[in-house]
Chain A
């Protein structure tokens, strides 16, 4: 049972900007734990997209950016491309539950 809440789906036309929210609580994001984001393309394992709230691993395009404030975090994709169509998950740590994931968001490129 996910303790981090994400919208089930977001969509946008190629070139547009979309954002995905990740809402937690005082025992996870609000407690100061970092938020990480993963991209899961159909039929593949998740891939680390953003770590430490706003950092991109080597090779991740700068179209992807992350932020965190209070008990929430956000992932933004600017200049949306067809290859960005995937499921996206946020992840953090909870003082009672250990590592926790968001409910997941499906991004559709119109």
Chain B
């Protein structure tokens, strides 16, 4: 059973780049037809899809964030990562890494989430 674990700084300064990593266990990130991605949730608010990367390397981003987002995969470490540039206070949120399963097309597996605060 796949498991995901987010890691990265909990505090980022305005205008800087937010960087998070998701470590995959229980399976290989490069051997399955999964979409690996990120979803965020500002405090007290709803869920927002950030973007996804297919195991082949193709990326898909939320149009509202596309200019600032990069998602990449490191197969040697069985990890994938998120970079969000030029952050503001509006980017303060819990960030979840996730997997879309080819079996059901839903966000089947979630990490526990990591809180990132943007503040000077």
Contact residues in B for A2 (Cβ distance below 8 Å):
46
Q: In chain A between 41 and 67, which residues have their CB closer than 8 angstroms to a CB of chain B?
A: 44-48, 51-52, 55, 57
B6, closest chain A residue (CB): A45
Which range holds the interface residue count of chain B? 20 to 34
Contact residues in A for B61 (Cβ distance below 8 Å):
98
- Cβ of A34 under 8 Å from chain B: yes
B106 contacts A91, C-beta separation under 8 Å: yes
Contact of A98 with B63 at beta-carbon distance under 8 Å, contacts A89-B46, A103-B46 already known:
yes
Give residues in B with beta carbon < 8 Å to A: 46-49, 51-52, 60-64, 96, 104-108, 110-113
Give residues in A with beta carbon < 8 Å to B: 1-2, 34, 36, 38, 44-48, 51-52, 55, 57, 89, 91, 96-104
